[in-house]
A and B are shown apart, each in its own frame.
Chain A
Amino acid sequence: DTGVSQNPRHKITKRGQNVTFRCDPISEHNRLYWYRQTLGQGPEFLTYFQNEAQLEKSRLLSDRFSAERPKGSFSTLEIQRTEQGDSAMYLCASSPRGGPGELFFGEGSRLTVL
């Protein structure tokens, strides 16, 4: 399967701990996005990469959140000092060159902060 891959699929952590999620996009896609979704809400944009450059970041995003995409391949999203409000599904998506808006989502990483 050559879709978007995310891991871990589920993460349970205690408040104050750091967590990291990984996303492997579709190989020929140069754009990579991170979204967060909570129950009953649409996905909320977090950040966007074109190749290895982080071009856009939500102004609402806490500085406890950081994302990287070294070498323009896989990406990681780290949340430091987690809070209960960080509990959500973290979705990664990629899109092809010439197709911004045509997002292919992974299955997501569900975070539960106790």
Chain B
Amino acid sequence: QKEVEQNSGPLSVPEGAIASLNCTYSDRGSQSFFWYRQYSGKSPELIMSIYSNGDKEDGRFTAQLNKASQYVSLLIRDSQPSDSATYLCAPRGGGGADGLTFGKGTHLIIQP
């Protein structure tokens, strides 16, 4: 059974600070990892993908991956109230499986 663990929160961060979201996964065969953002009442939307160990930066977002520790994180710099949402971690399974396994998500609140 593939498991993806995220702290459900809520995680409250002051506006302008760095929000740090963490995720651990059980499937050692996972090769690619995705972060989705889901606003309340809306569908998830892809914001970051990462395939190799290390950091990947895209604007205010940085994804970090450590396959040995089975750990992936998302940093949001200069947090804005519009970043308030649930962030879903989704590894793509090994063995050719294409269906993503989503975590429960972390509910992030940016306080103005």
Determine whether the beta carbon of B44 is less than 8 Å from that of A45: no
Determine whether the beta carbon of B34 is less than 8 Å from that of A45: no
- Chain A residue at smallest Cβ distance from B44: A105
Is B43's CB within 8 Å of the partner chain A?
A: yes
Q: For the complex, give the distance between the alpha carbons of A106 and B49 in Å.
A: 20
Given the known interface contacts A42-B105, A101-B32, the answer about A56 and B46 at a Cβ–Cβ threshold of 8 Å is no
Interface size classification for chain B: 20 to 34
Residues of chain A within 8 A of B99, CB atoms compared: 33, 45, 47-48, 56, 58
Determine whether the beta carbon of B44 is less than 8 Å from that of A40: no
Determine whether the beta carbon of B100 is less than 8 Å from that of A55: no
Number of A-B contacts (CB under 8 A): 60
Determine whether the beta carbon of A102 is less than 8 Å from that of B49: yes
Q: Which residues in window 30-85 of B have CB below 8 A to A?
A: 32, 34, 36, 42-46, 49
> How many chain A residues touch B (Cβ–Cβ < 8 Å)?
25
Q: For the complex, give the distance between the alpha carbons of A42 and B8 in Å.
A: 10
Determine whether the beta carbon of A42 is less than 8 Å from that of B92: no
Determine whether the beta carbon of B97 is less than 8 Å from that of A40: no
Residues of chain A within 8 A of B8, CB atoms compared: 40
Determine whether the beta carbon of A101 is less than 8 Å from that of B97: no
- Chain B residue at smallest Cβ distance from A106: B43
Interface centre among B8, B34, B102 (most CB of A within 10 A): B102
